[in-house]
């Protein structure tokens, strides 16, 4: 597909999604507004201005918060399966608009078109999951120690859920949160990344239609745009029962402290420093595929991207040589062209951080096997395209201990027992995703045991990147400890209540206490 056709497709996609040159960046569902300054969204693909989005003032935010709080009073009373029907209809609209929305995700964020479409599919999948969940918000029934008493626990809607999402998954992470929150009876306020605001406007345009057709109260789905100041308004807002924030560890610590000061709840999905352990028995062909996609997919801008390969010394050189060879065959270019493997970084600031990390590797004693650089020339005019890097390092290097959100892969050699590799893998402050490549059952079981990976996600014979909707997604340590998406992650969006019912003719008191009167 040539560049001119790509532009035509994007133009059609924007029109279909209701994206204009100037867009109201704030919405309470039915009504859109915004009196703050505008954010200009430039595509990292070609550097072109896609459109502008108005931001919110403090008064704008107050209006959104109040409207959401009022909507919750009505929305929580709607039966959960009826709320599930709302989510089902949203999922159907996403199926209809999958191609244009996937194209927008690819063009505004810079990930490959396949990944953009895949991200929209994740939205559809979580809607399907949530629809089923709407009939299964179950509690437990317990036996009481008192005769003729019944005990059980149940879950009630929590309230207003604030969602702060990152640029790298500009639509899916919002859907992970909001689909579950809606079936749980919560209403949502969403602050998209200021680096991909038009994706947020597009999603709000889609759900707006569904809300209107179902006569839902204004405020069930709210959009608010702006910089970190808007995030601060949300985290300090006592009307917001839960803040679900995705981003850096630095950001997460700020959010956690602010929310904790008002005794609110937070669900944090923060940085990753993910490793694949490659043992002597590993299938090396599978290893290379998993490591390659994990390291360069989304140009290394996933929280689950593979940052470190911890390789046994007996297969180290084989893995190294195969990887270097594979990197030489990667195609870098317009992500809307499905022939390319890697698109651009999100912006020039990300490029500068990437180049700085390469210099730190060399300064701290590492060796560059493949040294990345900024690409110039036709097709690279945005200045955001880089080639990926591979470096031989030691795990204790400062640059290795910190996440670099770019296609920079570290090779680390280990000797001896698997426990040595596990210690290296766990020897970072982040604890999101991990993997082991092995055909030895004892090694895989040790990796998954209490003495194994300390991450929230631990995989065997697949890479670190990506996750299925059905499983809870999240990490430990400074990754934040939150869980989103599948399994019982829905409980984070509800408040738990224990109930005791006395159906006898007397009232037995604790510890046998009696009143004589």
Question: What is the set of active-site residues?
Answer: 269, 303
Containing 235, the helix (H) or strand (E) segment is helix 228-235
CA distance 422 to 403: 19
Nearest in space to 355 (alpha carbons), one of 379, 386, 333: 386
Put residue 396 in one of left, alpha, beta given phi > 0 → left and psi -120 to 50 → alpha: alpha
Nearest in space to 342 (alpha carbons), one of 354, 329, 352: 329
CA distance 119 to 123: 7
Put residue 160 in one of left, alpha, beta given phi > 0 → left and psi -120 to 50 → alpha: beta
Q: How far is CA 397 from each of CA 109, 357, 426, rounded to the nearest angstrom?
A: 30, 11, 14
Put residue 246 in one of left, alpha, beta given phi > 0 → left and psi -120 to 50 → alpha: beta
| 277, burial (CB in 10 Å: exposed 0-12, middle 13-18, buried 19+) | buried
**In what side-by-side order are the strands of the sheet with 160-164?**
32-33, 26-27, 221-223, 187-191, 160-164, 240-246, 265-269
DSSP states along 370-397: E---B--STT-TTS--B--EEEE--TT-
């Amino acid at each position: 597909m040539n560049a001119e056709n790509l532009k035509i497709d994007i133009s059609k996609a924007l029109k279909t999604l209701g994206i204009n040159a100037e867009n109201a960046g704030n919405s309470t569902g039915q009504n859109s507004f915004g009196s703050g300054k505008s954010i200009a969204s430039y595509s990292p693909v070609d550097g072109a201005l896609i459109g502008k989005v108005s931001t919110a003032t403090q008064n704008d935010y107050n209006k959104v918060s109040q409207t959401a709080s009022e909507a919750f009073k009505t929305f929580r009373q709607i039966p959960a399966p009826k709320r599930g029907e709302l989510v089902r209809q949203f999922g159907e609209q996403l199926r209809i608009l999958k191609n244009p929305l996937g194209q927008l995700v690819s063009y505004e964020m810079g990930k490959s078109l396949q990944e953009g479409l895949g991200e929209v599919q994740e939205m559809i999948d979580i809607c399907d999951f949530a629809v089923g969940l709407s009939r299964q918000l179950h509690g437990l029934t317990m036996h009481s120690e008192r005769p003729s008493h019944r005990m059980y626990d149940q879950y009630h809607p929590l309230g207003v859920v604030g969602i702060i999402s990152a640029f790298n998954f500009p639509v899916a992470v919002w859907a992970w949160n909001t689909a579950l929150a809606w079936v749980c009876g919560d209403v949502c306020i969403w602050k998209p990344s200021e680096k991909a605001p038009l994706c947020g406007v597009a999603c709000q345009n889609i759900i707006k239609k569904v809300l209107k057709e179902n006569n839902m109260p204004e405020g069930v789905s709210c959009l608010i745009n702006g910089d970190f100041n808007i995030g601060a308004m949300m985290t300090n807002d006592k009307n917001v029962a839960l803040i679900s924030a995705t981003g850096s560890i630095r950001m997460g610590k700020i959010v956690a402290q602010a929310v904790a000061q008002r005794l609110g709840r937070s669900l944090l999905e923060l940085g990753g420093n993910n490793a694949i352990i490659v043992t002597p028995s590993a299938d090396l062909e599978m290893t290379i595929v998993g490591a390659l996609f994990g390291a360069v997919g989304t140009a290394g801008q996933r929280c689950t991207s593979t940052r470190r390969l911890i390789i046994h010394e007996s297969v180290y050189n084989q893995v190294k040589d195969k990887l270097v060879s594979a990197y030489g065959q990667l195609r870098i270019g317009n992500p809307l062209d499905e022939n390319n493997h890697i698109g651009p970084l999100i912006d020039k600031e990300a490029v500068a951080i990437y180049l700085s990390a390469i210099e730190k590797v060399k300064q701290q004693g590492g060796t560059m096997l493949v040294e990345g650089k900024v690409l110039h020339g036709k097709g690279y005019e945005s200045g955001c395209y880089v080639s990926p890097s591979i470096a031989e390092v030691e795990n204790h290097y400062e640059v290795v201990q910190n996440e670099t959100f770019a296609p920079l892969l570290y090779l680390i050699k280990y000797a001896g027992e698997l426990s040595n590799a596990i210690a290296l893998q766990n020897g970072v402050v982040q604890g999101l995703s991990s993997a082991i490549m092995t055909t030895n059952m004892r090694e895989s079981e040790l990796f998954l045991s209490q003495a194994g990976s300390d991450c929230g996600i631990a995989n065997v014979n697949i890479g670190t990147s990506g996750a299925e909707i059905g499983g809870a997604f999240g990490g430990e340590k400074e990754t934040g400890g939150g869980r989103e998406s599948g399994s019982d992650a829905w409980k984070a969006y509800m408040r738990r209540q224990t109930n005791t019912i006395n159906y006898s003719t007397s009232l037995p008191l604790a510890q046998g206490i009696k009143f004589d009167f």
